[in-house]
Structure 1
Amino acid sequence: MDRKTEELRDIFMSVTEGETVTETQEESRGSLADRGDVGQRLSDVVDRMRERYAFRTDLDDDELSTLVRGFYDGETDADLARELEVSRHTVFRSRMDLHLLRETDLDAPFDLDVLRDWLDDDGDPLTDLADDLDVSASTVRRYRDALAARNESRAANDRYRGEFDSILADSDLTGGLTDDVKDDGLKDATEDAEVDVSF
Structure 2
Amino acid sequence: MDEKTEELRDIFLETTGSDTVTERQEAGRGSIKGEGGEVTDERLADLIGTMRERFPFRSSLGTDALVTVLRGFFDERTDADLADELDVEEETVFEARMDLHLVTDADRTPVDDAVRPLVVDGASLDECVEAVDADSEAVRRAFLVTTSEAAAARASHRFRDEFAELLSDEDLSARFASDARRDGLEEATEDLETDVSF
Q: TM-score under structure 2 normalisation?
A: 0.61
Structure 1 residue 166: deviation in Å?
Answer: 1.6
Q: Is the 8 A contact 1:38 1:168 kept in 2?
A: no
1:138–1:166 Cα change, 3 Å: same
Query: 1:82 maps to what in 2?
Result: 84
* Residue of structure 1 equivalent to 2:115: 115
- Matching of residue 97 in structure 1 with residue 65 in structure 2: no
1:41 and 1:167 in contact (8 A); partners too: no
- How many residues are aligned here? 135
Cα deviation 1:71-92 (Å, max 9, x = unaligned) = 0011111011001111111111
Kindly indicate whether structure 1 or structure 2 has the higher relative contact order, using CA contacts under 8 Å at least 6 residues apart. Answer: 1
d(CA) in 2 for partners of 1:65, 1:33? 16
Q: Where is the helix percentage greater, Structure 1 or Structure 2?
A: 1
Displacement over 4 Å in runs of 4+: 32-37
SS of residue matched to 2:168: helix
| Letter of the structure 1 residue corresponding to residue 92 of structure 2 | T
Structure 2 unaligned regions, length at least 5: 1-30, 170-198
CA displacement at 1:117 relative to structure 2: 2.2
For the aligned residues, what is the CA RMSD? Answer: 2.5
The structure with more radius of gyration: 1
1:188 alignment partner in structure 2? none
Give TM-score, length-normalised by structure 1. 0.60
- Counterpart in the other structure of 1:25: none
Gaps in structure 1 of 5+ consecutive residues: 1-29, 171-199
Instruction: Please point out which of 49, 67, 83 is paired with 1:65.
Output: 67
